[in-house]
Amino acid sequence: MPDSPASTRTPPLSRSQLVLFGLPEFAVYLAVIPVSLYLPFFYSRDLGLDITDIGLLLMLARISDVVTDPLIGALSDRTRSRLGRRRPWMLAGTPLMMLAAYQLFAPSGAVTNGYLLTWSVLLWLGWTMINIPYYAWGAELSDDFDERTRITGWRQAFGFAGNISVLLVPVTAAKLFDYGGVASEALVIIGAMALILLPVLIGTTVWRLPERSVVRAAPQPALRHLRHMLRNGSFLVLFAGFTLMSLGTTMIGTLFMLFTTFAMDLERQAQPILLAYFAVNIVGLPFWVWLSHRIGKREAWMVGTGVMALTTPAYLLLEPGQILPFVLITAVIGFAGGNFMALSMSMKADVIELASRRSRDHVAGAYMAVWSLGSKTTQALAVGLSLPLLGFFGFDPRAENSPAEIDALRYTISLLPPALYLAAMIIIVRYPIGRRRLERLRGAYQRRDARRERDAASEAGGLPGQKLEGAS
């Protein structure tokens, strides 16, 4: 992709460029999805750690990014190198994430609370060094309203493919080699995949896809960016809606293996059922991108969220062993959930463009850092609240559970997430940025910057002024 100033309208990315940009998402999903999907189940039932301790430790590991997320975002905005601003950080975070993922998924020696906490903190530090610059890079690839949805849709498709691989490869290995059918074996396979694919896929993207060069004004202090964010109503509305949705979806992911094993008595079918869930995620993604073009991003987001809120409580109707209705309910939730990440990220890119034009500074990294921090905090709360809640009601994966303790698991996974989805819808209905508003504000900022250029040239005695970011 040829470099171009951020102020000029860029042509749509080619399919090969979209593939290149999506590759890191596949690799990163391999390393992070098992943390909520497998680790609570594996470290409690198989390794013997207390489920309440696991929830609190995983929450603490995510909250440790309170410092690292804003720091990495601000530093990547200010980085100068031959590789650009974003790509050096992605390369630096890759080996750290590789090592931490393998140590978590294939632990050796004595496994204690300290072991789980240490490697979880290092995993999320590596994730921060990769994903905050990576998502900031994505927000800068295009100024076009619909092209951003296309970019985030492709990236999310690679993420969904990573989700499927987390399940498909162990399921296939179990069928062919009788290894991979349970969580402990699946994690060893996934850890080996992460060791190989993280450097290969991230390295390929960094090598083959240039960053978009941007003409920028002098950097503004990071605290000034934070003050701007706190006054940015569009960002705050979107941020609140996204974090509530993330809290709900992460709760389901955290509890799914426990629910399938103890409430549904379908442990051996858990991975194939999840495989179906992520498959319909991918199948549904083009529909949600299409629908967002027809009715708007906010409206399409609310439709998908509403379907999830109405469908999830149906888990309460299931009896142990009822695999077909379980699969159908999960598939509907998966299809509806295909819109969540892609549309949220596209809407966030719109917000970041307007913030960048308003401040005439690079703010993508700072916004991504705050977004990531909020996302991690809510996901930490999902683990840190749901698992101790089960422990409070007496549920213990290491012991025989009573019907009341199983019911606590059933009600937690069936009712808490839909309540969060409905709260997110109430908030997101206030999100104000649509296609027309974005184009109107973009034009206003371009006229402002053109006027300032003319004024600066006039004051300099007619010499051409330096082109400012956001001018056309």
pLDDT in tens, the chain (472 residues): 333 334 445 688 899 999 999 999 999 988 888 888 899 999 999 999 999 999 999 999 988 777 788 888 888 888 888 888 899 999 999 999 999 999 999 998 889 999 999 999 999 999 999 998 998 898 888 878 788 888 988 998 898 888 888 888 998 999 999 998 888 899 999 999 999 999 999 999 999 999 876 544 445 555 556 677 777 888 899 999 988 998 999 899 899 999 999 999 998 888 889 888 888 888 888 899 899 999 999 999 999 999 999 999 999 999 999 999 999 999 999 999 888 777 888 888 888 888 878 877 767 777 877 777 777 788 788 889 999 999 999 999 988 999 999 999 999 999 999 999 999 999 999 999 888 888 888 888 888 878 887 877 777 665 454 443 433 3
The two structure tokens encoding residue 242: 């996204």
Which are the contacts of 115, defined by CB distance < 8 A and separation ≥ 6? 107
pLDDT on residue 3: 39
Q: Residue 470 phi/psi, 5° resolution?
A: 100, -15
pLDDT for 367 equals: 80
Give the pair of three-digit tokens for residue 419.
Answer: 């309540």
What residues contact 362, with CB distance under 8 A and at least 6 apart?
77, 85, 214, 216, 219, 356, 469
C-alpha to C-alpha distance for 136 and 416, rounded to whole angstroms: 32
Q: What pLDDT is stored for residue 443 in this prediction?
A: 86
pLDDT of residue 467: 43
What angle do helix axes 87-105 and 15-37 make, rounded to 10 degrees?
A: 30
Q: Which residue has the tokens 């500074």?
A: 361
Are the C-beta atoms of residues 344 and 301 closer than 8 Å to each other? yes
User: pTM of the predicted model, to two decimals?
Assistant: 0.74
Residue 4 is predicted with a pLDDT of: 37
Is the Cβ–Cβ distance between 79 and 85 less than 8 Å? yes
Question: What own/partner pairs with CB < 8 Å and gap ≥ 24 does 356-359 have?
Answer: 356/6, 356/469, 356/470, 357/441, 357/442, 357/445, 357/446, 357/449, 357/469, 357/470, 358/228, 358/445, 359/220, 359/225, 359/228
pLDDT at 374: 78
Record the tokens describing residue 344, joined without a space: 């949220």
Domains of the chain, earliest start first: 23-210+219-450 (1.20.1250.20)
3-state helix, strand, coil in the chain (%, to 5): 80, 0, 20
Residue 337 and residue 430: Cα distance in Å, rounded? 21
Q: Note the pLDDT of residue 314.
A: 97
Residues 126, 166: contact at Cβ < 8 Å? no
* CA pair distance 331, 73, nearest whole angstrom: 36
**Is the distance from CB of 283 to CB of 151 less than 8 angstroms?**
no
Closest CA to 248 of 32, 45, 51, 425: 425
